[in-house]
């Protein structure tokens, strides 16, 4: 009897397994059929378009549009990289490219040098911000796009480029030869001392080797400049390489600590990254500055240091990108950058803010609401949360430019005035001493009056929209007097606003002018003057008791860990 029961049970189990395998096989076959069917539909559709569409079509452009739209329906980070964009991809991951070392942009009908990088061919050849491209190797580029001129400037190192340029203030064309170099942009924009005890490092991106640059800068400030505490600035750092983020955290936490883990659909991408090297400093007080522009690898670093109670995170809530991308090779030297996993920092939380897998009916993506965020704890038991970026330990108000300063930048008024100023002044005071004095401010005022400059505040724009709505609803005539009265109150006067917002206008002028003489490092130094985030960081680091109190839990309550999904 017992043997019969075992045989029956075994037979039943076999039937279940066979049915399960058959169902799995059916699902796999069904999915493969759907893929084949839809690819065939796509091919035949494209063939018919090519044969019968009324105008000639551009196959490559049409296919790329289809690919881009298809990938965009998944998430913004899964992208197709064609062969002609491979140099840009290389620059994003390594910080290297072959070129002249300058940012370029469009000014009206012209392509101009927006900013030459210090120590690179453009700057060494004497090019300045504001210089206009006229010809490049004999080819006129006055009607070219920024992308077209950029493509001509980039290429193999050691090649001589012959440029014909125009300097606006002199109105005389000049010719210059520049030898292309392999340009390697230093991810550490600036490293120096904020005072005699506090060091400061700004990291612009997580490109290859950036952790080593952080290490070099940190040791120099600590061992040679006497830094007793450190500010690491990750504001507006969009991220980059996961491996570099892990190495950077490893500099400040004990060997063996978990830094981040990844989990995806394919088990190959499930991995836990730990601190595998000996750290350089596990005790120095650290403040990490973040804002809404801090994303991806910046959030791994700030989140891991927060979860391990190693640093005080200060600023604004970060962007909330908890997705990991992997690059896959395709045919014809193209690539696919595809989201393969989510990442989880040491407390177990994923800080992805947008749920791309559950879109709204109109295709939009909604943020994960606060009500669905889960509570986690740091190593010491402090409460932290998932679902929407890294929430700083010390939250600071969002700094926003006044409407006038924003419009002056947007309309290139500040840029053009700095070009004019630099043409008349061969040198200025060091960045930490340079100020916009009364004479310079009045000169800028007169320069502004000579331009066809007007601007609207956001309140005026909102009022216009409200009036249009009222007209559509046929209620405008009854309320026209009130609208007119409000409009007069909101109408901006440039002269009075220039005085009212002089401090902010001076700040953006100082940044642009100092950049002309001292480049990126100078711009960072002059920004310290009005940087309230850095002022708060200095206050906390100057008070060790306050610093330590932030890293201690108010009360420890056991909290169940969230589940990785």
What residues act catalytically? 296, 307, 321
Rounded Cα distance, 20 and 28, in Å: 12
Angle at which helices 476-490 and 458-472 pack, to 10 degrees? 170
- Measured CA to CA in angstroms, residue 361 lies from 3, 41, 84, 370 at distances of 58, 26, 36, 21
DSSP-derived letter for residue 114 is E
* Helix, coil or strand: residue 307: helix
For residue 337, what are its two tokens? 């950058």
How far is Cα 119 from Cα 103, in angstroms, rounded to an integer?
Answer: 14
Sign of CA dihedral 321, 326, 327, 328: negative
> For the chain, how big is the Rg over CA atoms in Å?
29
**How far apart are alpha carbons 483 and 502 in whole angstroms?**
30
* 534 and 231 Cβ atoms separated by less than 8 Å: yes
What angle in degrees, to the nearest 10, is found between the helix axes of 210-219 and 242-250?
A: 20
HSE at residue 471, side-chain half, CA atoms within 13 A, is 7
> Which residues, 6 or more positions from 497, have their beta carbon under 8 angstroms from its beta carbon?
402, 404
Residue 358 neighbours by CB under 8 Å, 6+ apart: none
Q: In whole angstroms, give the CA distance from residue 181 to residue 98.
A: 6
Return the exposure string of 280-317: e unless at least 16 CB atoms fall within 10 Å of the residue's CB, then b: eeeebbbbbbbbeebbbbbbbbbbbbbbbbbbbbbbbb
């Amino acid at each position: 009897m017992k043997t019969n029961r075992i045989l029956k049970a075994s037979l039943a189990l076999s039937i279940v397994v066979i049915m399960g395998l058959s169902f799995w096989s059916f699902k796999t076959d069904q999915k493969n059929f759907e893929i084949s069917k839809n690819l065939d539909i796509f091919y035949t559709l494209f063939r018919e378009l090519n044969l019968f569409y009324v105008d000639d079509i551009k196959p490559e452009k049409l296919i790329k549009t289809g690919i881009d739209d298809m990938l965009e329906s998944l998430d913004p980070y899964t992208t197709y990289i064609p062969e002609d964009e491979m140099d840009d991809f290389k620059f994003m991951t390594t910080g290297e490219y072959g070129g002249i070392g300058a940012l370029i942009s469009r000014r009206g009908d012209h392509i101009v040098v927006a900013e030459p990088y210090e120590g690179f061919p453009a700057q060494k050849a004497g090019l300045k911000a504001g210089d206009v491209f006229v010809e490049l190797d004999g080819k006129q580029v006055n009607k070219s796009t920024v992308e077209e001129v950029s493509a001509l400037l980039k290429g193999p190192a050691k090649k001589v480029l012959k440029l014909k340029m125009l300097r606006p203030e002199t109105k005389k064309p000049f010719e210059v030869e520049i030898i292309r170099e392999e340009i390697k942009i230093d991810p550490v924009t600036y490293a120096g001392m904020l005072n005699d005890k506090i060091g400061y490092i700004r990291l612009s991106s997580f490109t290859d080797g950036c952790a080593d640059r952080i290490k070099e800068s940190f040791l120099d400030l600590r061992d040679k400049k006497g830094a007793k505490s450190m500010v690491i600035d990750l504001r507006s750092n969009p991220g980059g390489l996961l491996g570099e983020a892990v190495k950077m955290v490893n500099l400040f936490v004990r060997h063996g600590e978990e830094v981040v883990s990844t989990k995806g659909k394919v088990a190959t991408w499930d991995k836990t990254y730990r601190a595998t090297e000996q750290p350089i400093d596990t005790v120095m007080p650290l403040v990490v500055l973040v804002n809404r522009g801090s994303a991806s690898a910046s959030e791994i670093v700030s989140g891991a240091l927060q979860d391990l109670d190693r640093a005080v995170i200060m600023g604004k809530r970060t962007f909330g990108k908890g997705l990991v991308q992997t690059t896959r090779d395709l045919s014809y030297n193209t690539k696919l950058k595809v989201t393969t996993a989510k990442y989880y920092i040491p407390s177990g939380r994923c800080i992805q803010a947008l749920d791309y897998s559950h879109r709204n009916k109109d295709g939009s993506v909604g943020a994960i609401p606060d009500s669905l965020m889960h509570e986690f704890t740091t190593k010491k038991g402090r409460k932290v949360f998932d679902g929407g970026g890294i929430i700083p330990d010390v939250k600071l108000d969002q700094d926003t430019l006044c409407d006038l300063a924003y419009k002056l930048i947007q309309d290139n008024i500040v840029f053009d005035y700095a070009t004019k100023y630099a043409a008349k002044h061969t040198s200025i005071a060091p960045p930490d001493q340079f100020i916009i004095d009364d004479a310079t401010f009045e000169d800028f005022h007169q320069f502004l009056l000579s331009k066809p400059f007007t601007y609207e505040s956001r309140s005026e724009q909102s009022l216009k929209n409200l009036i249009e709505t009222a007209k559509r609803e046929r209620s405008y005539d009854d309320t026209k007097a009130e609208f007119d009265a409000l409009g007069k109150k909101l109408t901006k006067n440039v002269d009075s606003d220039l005085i009212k917002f002089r401090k902010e206008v001076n700040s953006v002028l100082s940044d642009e002018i100092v950049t002309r003489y001292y480049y990126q490092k100078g711009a960072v130094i002059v920004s310290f003057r009005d940087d309230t985030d850095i002022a708060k960081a200095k206050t906390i680091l100057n008070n060790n008791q306050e610093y330590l109190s932030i890293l201690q839990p108010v009360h420890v309550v056991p909290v169940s860990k969230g589940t990785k999904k």
